[in-house]
Amino acid sequence: MAKLSIRDLQLQGRRTFVRVDFNVPIKNGVITDDTRIRATLPTLQFALDAGALPIVASHLGRPKGTRNMEYSLGPVAARLSELLNRKVIFATDCIGQPVADAIEQARKENGLVLLENLRFYPQEEKNDPEFSKQLAQHADEYVDDAFGAAHRAHASVEGMTHSFAKPAAGLLMEQEIKYLGHALESPERPFVAILGGAKVSDKLEVIENMLGKVDRLIIGGAMAYTFMKSRGIPTGKSLVEEDKIDAAKTISADAAARGVELALPIDHVVTTAISAEAPYEVLAMDDPSIGDRMGVDIGPKTIEKYAALLSDARTVVWNGPMGVFEIPAFANGTNALAKAVAAVQGTTIVGGGDSISALKKSGMADRVTHISTGGGASLEFLGGRTLPGVAALKDK
């Protein structure tokens, strides 16, 4: 499992391709949240201190393989330069002459290079071999610090690594592999996983794999309703994935057979519409008076039950909100869970944008062991899947 790290490379004078995740929200050319840029600073600073010339590359949004300037990484170059206090030369393309020119200039000005959006080329997501070679062409070393993209076999995370003798993990990637790898291989017990959010289909495979690893599995969010329906409990207009009802049944049976406690909500907040103005009330989960209303948060009794299931936990993995936490009236479950996770005496790992923002909102972000930058990637990793971007790195 141990992978070569940037710390194992000789970087003096080396042009070092660093794949990062700068997929930041940008509104009218202004970056509204630079967390992902800040997260890579230790790796970039390390490379600079070691005498490397970093060639930084990322995707941004979904330009669908076209040069759509709405998704240009240009604004990121300025922000990165401020944060690193170094000259950042922006290459207007991610391959070809503009890259060579930017490297030349960065060398003269003792700076680093940021490439334009990798996804301006459809070949990136297709993991095209020729494109991979073009990306690799200007670099001597390869470092991957984009854990959030590691579950996709794209040219910049998989294909191009074959052109290097020692593709290595950046410091952020190294942390992810360390904490998630530990939870996967030798977790302190009880090991509790909490899965929420809207879509069961996204998380089904993960749930199945995790049943073999955890002692308790807590389900919240809209995901709970597919399980409720599979048990004949009235769900009103709550989000149910009809084609996953059988899968939910199988998971329930598997959990029972393995002695894993599958915890489902016992009460919930129901409302007529997902809106801050809609009237709402708490009902027991099996109360048929839900009628044609929908469940949007776990209720107070469920919060109590889940907090108790977490109180003696030694390893916790949390991904996905317990309700429609974007609306304050339906955020109680998610906020309470953030507090319960923060109070755990042990290793706590939180992944997924929604859970992270809930954690930050509740002021608990510095109380967890590890905030995983990759929601989907961390779930796939914890489900025991080999991530192409991790597999591509050289073993120690």
Give the interface segment with ligand AMP, choosing from 26-34, 83-91, 131-139, 315-323 (CB under 6 A): 315-323
Catalytic annotation on 36? yes
* By the rule CB under 6 A, 326 interacts with ligand AMP: yes
- In angstroms, give the least distance from the CB of 154 to ligand AMP: 21
With beta carbons less than 8 A apart as the criterion, state whether 348 and 182 touch.
no
Note whether 239 binds ligand AMP by CB under 6 A.
yes
Q: What token pair was written down for 220? A: 């919240």
Looking at beta carbons, which residue is closest to ligand AMP?
197
CB 381 within 8 A of CB 184: yes
Within 345-374, the residues that bind ligand AMP by CB under 6 A are: 352, 354
Residue 63 contacts ligand AMP per CB under 6 A:
no
Rounded to whole angstroms, the maximal C-alpha distance in the chain is 72
Alpha-helical runs (H) found in the chain: 35-49, 74-84, 97-109, 122-126, 129-136, 171-185, 200-211, 223-230, 245-258, 300-311, 332-342, 353-361, 375-382, 388-391
**Backbone phi, psi, residue 59, to 5°:** -100, 165
Q: Which positions ≥6 away from 30 have C-beta within 8 Å?
A: 75
Non-local (6+) Cβ contacts of 261 within 8 A are 215, 216, 217, 255, 309
- Contact pick of 148, 159, 321, 383 for ligand AMP (by CB under 6 A): 321
Q: Should residue 197 be labelled a site residue for ligand AMP when binding is judged by CB under 6 A?
A: yes
One character per residue 260-299, x = contact with ligand AMP (rule: CB under 6 A)? -----------------------------------xx---
Q: Which helix (H) or strand (E) holds 39?
A: helix 35-49
**Residue 347 and residue 165: Cα distance in Å, rounded?**
35
Catalytic residue among 375, 376, 383, 389: 376
Asked if residue 268 lies in contact with residue 221, where contact means CB atoms within 8 angstroms, the answer is no
Q: Give catalytic status of residue 353 as yes or no.
A: yes
CB of 316 to ligand AMP, least distance (A): 17
Among 221, 351, 374, 383, binds ligand AMP (CB under 6 A): 221
Q: Does 198 bind ligand AMP (CB under 6 A)?
A: yes
Of these, 73, 222, 285, 303, which contacts ligand AMP (CB under 6 A)?
A: 222
CB of 270 to ligand AMP, least distance (A): 10
Which of 36, 119, 213, 293 does the annotation list as catalytic?
A: 36
The answer to the question of residue 199 lying near ligand AMP (CB under 6 A) is yes
Q: How far is the CB of 172 from ligand AMP (least distance, A)?
A: 22
384 tagged catalytic: no
Alpha-carbon gap, residue 264 to 223, rounded angstroms: 10
Task: Write the CB contacts of 247 (distance below 8 Å, at least 6 apart in sequence).
Answer: 200, 204
* Contact residues: ligand AMP, CB under 6 A: 197-199, 202, 221-222, 239, 295-296, 320-321, 323-324, 326, 352, 354
**Which amino acids are annotated catalytic?**
36, 199, 353, 376
